[in-house]
């Protein structure tokens, strides 16, 4: 069995910690918030993972050195906007024999880097970094419900190593060498989930949602290929699989945020009601910049951006989408 240090005690970090500890691995989890560590340590439950009991053997700490030292794998499970600052905080504690795993889904706004690229930018290229991505709601993983995920790394042997270590009877893991494609897909699908939620919030039905998922995937592929990603990656778990679960589920913050926006709530009202990080909002600004940089046609991204940051009425955005020039599929 191996040792894991997890940076971030949110829903996904905690769910992974529980799964890994239940497999027999040893896990320590870091959070910078003392009150959170104390609560998780004493109560053994996470407020956003109802019904799931945290394994008593998992150690929670505010000491990043304690969580990182002598661990085989380091999982970065903070929201995407904190990945750089977290990497900066721990870079001098890492050793090159450790494998770094990122589970955050996003593109850094100012640099347009994916999360693995952000980590490499901070710690250097000598470290092995793997992305874990796919249709994986933390709430279901925490309950031990069947889930499939992808371990992606440019070095397929490293991806296979992570795959073999974390695969178990309820989490089936595939490997992929297109880490950029997996990360771009994981970031962009959150925007499509916002769009589907907005559609639902406006009272539209399954026809509109299916159209947004399908045409949204097309937009993701356009941008992905322009950035050098493999098309097939977007047809797999990290692409269409993740869009479906994020765009349709009650557990999806992005979908639920979209519903509120579609109902006419302001961005501030929406964020207050959701109460957690909505990654699609962070990815949206990066996607708009990348769309312009690569000159890629992405009308759904443009529409969502116009609603959230351009104060366009959601129904006006729908009219604009439906009245675009007709073309072939």
Percent helix, strand, coil in the chain, to 5, is 55, 10, 35
Q: Please report where in the chains the tokens 């529409």 appear, as a residue.
A: 303
The DSSP call for residue 55 is P
Buried b or exposed e, range 4-34, using 16+ CB within 10 angstroms? bbbbbbbbbbbbbbbbbbebebbbbbbbbee
Please tell me whether residue 247 adopts helix, strand or coil conformation: helix
Are 179 and 227 in contact by the 8 Å Cβ rule? The answer is no
Q: Which of 279, 257, 245 is nearest to 149 (CA)?
A: 245
Return d(Cα 7, Cα 13) in angstroms, integer. 7
Q: Which of 73, 93, 75, 89 is nearest to 10 (CA)?
A: 75
71, 189, 209, 288: the catalytic one is 189
Read out DSSP for 71-133? Answer: -SEEEE-S-GGGHHHHHHHHGGG--TTSEEEE----B-TTT--BHHHHHHHHH-TTSEEEEEE
Any residues with CB less than 8 A from the CB of 308 and at least 6 apart, and which?
Answer: 194, 261, 267, 281, 284
The DSSP call for residue 54 is P
Q: Is 189 a catalytic residue?
A: yes
Return d(Cα 211, Cα 81) in angstroms, integer. 30
Which token pair is 267? 């961005």
Which token pair is 275? 């109460």
Which residues form the catalytic set? 189
């Amino acid at each position: 069995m191996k040792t894991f240090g997890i940076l971030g005690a949110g829903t996904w970090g905690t769910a992974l910690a529980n799964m890994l500890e239940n497999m027999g691995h040893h896990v320590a989890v870091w959070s910078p918030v003392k009150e959170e560590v104390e609560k998780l340590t004493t109560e053994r439950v996470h407020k956003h993972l109802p019904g799931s009991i945290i394994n008593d053997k998992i150690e929670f700490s505010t000491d990043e050195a304690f969580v990182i030292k002598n661990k085989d794998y380091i999982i970065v499970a903070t929201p995407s906007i904190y990945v750089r600052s977290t990497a900066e905080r721990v870079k001098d504690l890492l050793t090159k024999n450790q494998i770094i795993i990122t589970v955050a889904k996003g593109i850094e706004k100012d640099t347009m880097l994916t999360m693995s690229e952000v980590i490499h930018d901070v710690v250097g290229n000598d470290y092995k970094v793997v992305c874990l991505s796919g249709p994986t709601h933390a709430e279901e993983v925490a309950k031990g419900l069947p889930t499939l995920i992808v371990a992606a790394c440019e070095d397929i042997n490293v991806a296979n190593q992570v795959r073999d270590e974390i695969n178990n009877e309820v989490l089936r893991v595939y490997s992929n060498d297109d880490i950029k494609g997996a990360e771009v897909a994981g970031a962009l699908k959150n925007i499509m989930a916002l769009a589907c939620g907005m559609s639902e919030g406006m009272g539209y039905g399954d026809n509109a949602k299916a159209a947004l998922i399908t045409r949204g995937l097309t937009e993701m592929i356009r941008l992905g290929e322009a950035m050098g990603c493999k098309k097939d990656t977007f047809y797999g778990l990290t692409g269409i699989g993740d869009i479906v679960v994020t765009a349709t589920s009650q557990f999806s913050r992005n979908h639920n945020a979209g519903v509120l926006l579609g109902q006419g709530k302001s961005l501030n009202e929406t964020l207050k009601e959701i109460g957690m990080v909505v990654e699609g909002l962070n990815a949206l600004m990066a996607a708009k910049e990348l769309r312009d940089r690569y000159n890629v046609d992405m009308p759904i991204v443009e529409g969502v951006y116009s609603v959230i940051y351009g104060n366009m009425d959601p129904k006006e955005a729908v009219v604009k989408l439906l009245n675009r020039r007709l073309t072939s599929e």
